Amino acid sequence: MATKLNQIHEGKAKKVFATNDPTALIHEFKDDATAFDGKKKGQILGKGSVNAQISAALFRLLEDHGVKTHFRELLDDRNMLTDKLNMLAVEVVVRNVAAGSLAKRIGYEEGIKLKKPIVEFYYKRDDLGDPIINEDHIYELGIATESQISEIRNTGLKVNNILKSFFDELGLTLVDFKLEFGLKDGQLKLGDEISPDTCRLWDKETGEKMDKDRFRRDLGRVEDAYQEVLSRVKGITKVGGKF
């Protein structure tokens, strides 16, 4: 049984604790929500629990499809036991539909379906505002080797295929999402979380946003949207047109 020891990190949405197993960590998912590099702050009641459960379900799904993740087990509704990874200073965004910063960057209306998925990389550097970078920058910065960079890209696309069809069956369009990778004994694994904080999910019937954009853009019914995604992931609500 894993025991929670000292806190080693507090992020915007999670606290990370050491455990009695030096190769493992416990991630405690918080209700705190931030946006725009932490400039907007708030709380989404129940978010920690919802995101921990959704992340656990998605990590299990990905593992079943051969994707290596840091997930070990959900200890309770907001504490997740994981492998300890050496995290890479890059965020990987995969997009199927134009939205958010891509729509702004290339002058597309939100909602335009992309010809094929777009993979983007962002350098995790708060002081620089997490700028967009490419594979050459990742190599130059020594974040990953060339073969790791291509593995990251391919894994991002594989995760996209798996999650896109999973959410499609739940009546949700996977617009885009963000992944973070780390190394364990030289092997790349998916870390962090996959949740409505890190994905854009639009109801297929109504087009309603079912993700953190409700908080970012003050759209209201934030908690309801997160709960609805969890219910669909657990298979306990009728799919489509519900929200």
CA gap 45, 216 in Å, rounded = 15
- Residue 101 interacting with ligand TMP (CB under 6 A): yes
**Residue pointed to by tokens 């974040």:** 143
The burial class, CB within 10 Å (0-12 / 13-18 / 19+), for 239 is middle
- Residue 240 interacting with ligand TMP (CB under 6 A): no
CA gap 174, 186 in Å, rounded = 31
Question: Out of ligand ASP, ligand TMP, none, which partner does residue 231 contact, by CB within 5 to 8 A per kind?
Answer: none
DSSP-assigned states of every residue in 64-106: HTT--BSEEEE-SSSEEEEE--EEEEEEEEEEEE--HHHHHHH
Question: Out of ligand ASP, ligand TMP, none, which partner does residue 207 contact, by CB within 5 to 8 A per kind?
Answer: none
- State which residue has the least CB distance to ligand ASP: 34
Contacts of residues 99-104 at CB distance under 8 Å and 24 or more positions apart, as own/partner, are 99/175, 99/176, 99/200, 99/213, 100/176, 100/200, 100/213, 102/176
- Residue 100 interacting with ligand TMP (CB under 6 A): yes
Question: Out of ligand ASP, ligand TMP, none, which partner does residue 199 contact, by CB within 5 to 8 A per kind?
Answer: ligand TMP
- Residue 84 interacting with ligand TMP (CB under 6 A): no
- Residue 199 interacting with ligand TMP (CB under 6 A): yes
Least distance (Å) from ligand TMP to the CB of residue 10? 16
Q: Is the CB of 81 or the CB of 99 nearer to ligand TMP?
A: 99
Amino acid at 19: T
- Residue 177 interacting with ligand TMP (CB under 6 A): yes
- Residue 117 interacting with ligand TMP (CB under 6 A): no
CA gap 90, 182 in Å, rounded = 10
- Member of 14, 70, 178, 189 binding ligand TMP (CB under 6 A): 178
Question: Out of ligand TMP, ligand ASP, none, which partner does residue 216 contact, by CB within 5 to 8 A per kind?
Answer: ligand ASP
Residue 185, Cβ neighbours under 10 Å: how many?
9
Q: With left for phi above 0 and alpha for psi between -120 and 50, is residue 111 left, alpha or beta?
A: left
- Residue 33 interacting with ligand TMP (CB under 6 A): no
* Binding region for ligand ASP (CB under 6 A): 12, 34-38, 212, 216
Q: Is the CB of 37 or the CB of 205 nearer to ligand ASP?
A: 37
Task: By CB under 6 A, name the binding residues for ligand TMP.
Answer: 93, 99-102, 176-178, 198-200
